[in-house]
Amino acid sequence: MSQLILPGDAGPGDVLAGKKFCAGTVYNGQGTMPNNGAVSGAVASNGGTKTIPSGYTTGGTVTATTDSNLVANNIRSGISIFGVAGSYSAGTINPTGNATPTQVLSGTTFSSATYPNGSTGTMANNGAVTLTPGPSNVAIPAGYHNGSGIVSAVSVPAGNVLSGTTIAGTSGAMANNGAVVMTPGTANQAIATGYHNGSGYVKGDANLVTGNIKAGASIFGVAGKSSVVDTSDANAVASQILSGLYAYVNGVKLTGTIPSKTAQTYTPGTSAQTISAGQYLSGAQTISGDANLIAANILSGKSIFGVSGSYPDYQLMTASDATLASSTTTVSTSSTSMAQVKQFRVTGPRGIIRVKFDFGSGNAGTTTSAQVYKNGVAVGTLRTTSSTTFVTYTEDISFSSGDYIQIYASTTSTMYGPQIKNYYLCGTLPTVMTIT
């Protein structure tokens, strides 16, 4: 038997509850669509909604409620709300009031005469603040306080607060002793209870030393010195006591004034040496002798400590034109200050030596200088020339064995220097021995 297919495509949800239907393969089916009857309600015209339940309704009325402020003048120009086009622009609405962002809680918006286009508050929201008193002022933070903040209570014992001072409503009862000065005596002294400002002290005495306390006695732990005894029978004076030593005469301390001279050795020289009177010679005073202090070691014509010399002066040189040393090469310098250009060292004799040298300028018109030096110190006459013609200069100077005899020179132009040549040392050497 074939299945009966009825026309239609309705399902149970498409048929009102309580009603039957046939469609397709469903025969005598039961509808499940809810019957809501008449549905009515009110909706705010500025954004409210009304939910219509699913199912069948016989109809109803949704009434739009209105707001008297939903007008164009209250809506910003260029904006439309529920079909109402805004016409407000700056200057059209003039808010009143003088609030500023710092006077409005942070996160809250507002408008005022100063801020007609609106602004956001910046006043800090401190909530409930708890403050604890201290030795200095505690700042209350600026901003909003919700009224639940507190200042912590402080417990102040009156005995711990200085008299005349009030802390957290507690008047002090501690005595103010200020600066207490105590002088030690033979009995103990109590230190008063209360505040001391730190400037008080127990007196000291610079005389509380062992030397001022009688032997066998003790004062504040300082024992008397064993030497502090009766000295009324002593009769010495300071000038009878060695310097650095002390004596007590009739209770008075005397400091000795006699100087002490330790062992000394005196080496005879060119001037007298005196040992002053009034000294205590604590060591031997020795006048040095010298085994070489004999006539044969003293230059003839000289006397040392009464010893007349007999040694002939063989080392005395005299100036002459006899050449002893020479340097004929021409030398120069570009130095603008005196610089060494020639040098000889004389060893052995002493006396007078003759110095010769030829000197001229390296360029006509350039001023140059030359001078005889001994051991780096100028001893000769300063010679100056701007001529290229050589001139021979001669000078006699004194010298000792080991001296350096030098020529120094300089120029006023680093391009042209002095010209020095034919440097000679001349003299007659002493006769060391004569054989007849």
pTM flag (> 0.85): no
What are the structural domain ranges in the chain? 1-36, 76-116, 316-428
What is the rounded CA–CA span in Å between residue 307 and residue 1?
182
Give me 288's structure tokens.
């040095």
How many C-beta atoms surround the C-beta of residue 268 within 10 A?
14
What is the rounded CA–CA span in Å between residue 338 and residue 383?
12
In tens digits, the chain (436 residues) has pLDDT values of 566 677 877 778 787 888 887 877 777 778 788 888 787 776 655 556 777 788 788 777 766 666 667 777 677 777 787 778 877 765 555 677 888 888 888 888 878 777 777 788 888 888 888 888 878 888 898 888 888 888 877 778 888 888 888 877 788 888 888 888 988 888 898 888 888 888 888 888 888 898 788 887 888 889 888 777 777 778 888 777 888 888 888 878 888 888 888 898 988 888 888 888 888 888 898 988 888 888 877 777 688 888 898 776 656 788 999 999 999 999 999 999 999 999 999 987 888 999 999 999 999 999 999 999 999 999 999 999 999 999 999 999 999 989 999 999 999 999 999 999 999 999 998 665 444 4
User: How many C-alpha atoms does 329 have within 13 Å on its Cβ side?
Assistant: 5
Give me 341's structure tokens.
């250009």
Is the Cβ–Cβ distance between 424 and 326 less than 8 Å? yes
Q: What backbone phi and psi angles, to 5 degrees, belong to 45?
A: -75, -10
Chain centre distance of CA 55: 92
Give me 69's structure tokens.
């402020």
CATH architecture of 316-428: Sandwich (2.60)
What is the rounded CA–CA span in Å between residue 289 and residue 265?
10
